[in-house]
Amino acid sequence: MNLDNVKLNLETDLVLNIGDPIGKTNAPRVYNKLFSVLGMNAIMLPVQIKKGDLSQFLAACRTLGIRYFSPTMPHKSDIIPLLDEVDEMSRIFNSVNAVYIDQNGISHGVGLDGKGAVTALLDSAVELDGKNAVILGSGSISGVIGIELIKHGVKKLTILNRTMEKLSSIADILADRTEAEIIPMLLNPGNLDQAARDADIFLQCTPLGMAGYPFTHEYLGFIDALPQSATVFEVIINPPETPVISAARQRGLKTVPGMRMLAGQMDVIFDFMFGVKLTMEHKEACIAELNEYLGLEEK
């Protein structure tokens, strides 16, 4: 990767991607590609921060003058109480993935996974208006993705999760704030098949199948229940060919892999963090960078 833009001087902005584990992240490649294309004197580095250590991390950022960081699992929720300002939807759904500290020392956080997901779908020519969507999982990003889908016209949203507490919380919030039909369902093979039969868009929003995560999907038979016209969306970036994406492609279904979501949210993240506007060409450069790094041809 060409990083001639990085001068490694007092003006170099250090941007951190924090998580636990963090070794499999691909976000720095995308950020650093954009920094190079845009000629920004900045570099992103991955840093492993243990759960429970965010207070010390934030204090270190202030001491060292580090103004930008991107939290990933398990910090997207835990960072919120430590920030000075968080937008309403990110606070309601307990998910932040972009933070900057302004010149006055005020920390600002926002969750942009929902906008990234919708942008990735729209950029992939997926119609949302009037459609039925199914979200697998009710973690910190499911709510922000759900609200953005509904804002863009999804009329029915089914959410499946293993436990009812988190599932009911997200479903109730969405039902109270939108006019869409919200259907919470406990996760089991029968319910998965039932939800899949009526889905125009199926969104995999769990860490199952992620590199370094100890668990994967116990049941993928629901892929066979999806209509042939359905689109399958994945939030996981690494590996790019997740179990869900692989099964969907074997069936010949349209897929939107996680790298598309990562590229899709770069425009709103760069605007939020740096005040920089991106173009479609910039986003395509992100995807090309990931494809080259991973030795892939986009499917």
User: Side chain identity at 66, as an amino acid letter?
Assistant: I
H-helix or E-strand spanning residue 221: none
State yes or no: is 76 an active-site residue: yes
Sheet strands (E) in the chain = 13-19, 42-48, 68-71, 85-86, 98-101, 107-110, 132-136, 156-161, 181-186, 201-204, 231-234, 254-256
Catalytic residue among 33, 50, 51, 76: 76
- End-to-end CA separation in angstroms for the chain: 23
User: Side chain identity at 268, as an amino acid letter?
Assistant: V
Provide the 10 A C-beta neighbour count for residue 136: 25
Contact 91, 80 (CB under 8 A): yes
Tokens found for residue 299: 């499917």
Q: What pairs with residue 233 in β-bridges? A: 203, 256
Place of tokens 């704030």: 177
What's the Cα-to-Cα distance from 104 to each of 14, 30, 60, 81, 289, rounded to whole Å?
18, 28, 16, 19, 35
H-helix or E-strand spanning residue 169: helix 164-177
Does a cis peptide bond (omega within 30 degrees of 0) precede residue 71? no
Q: Which residues are catalytic?
A: 76
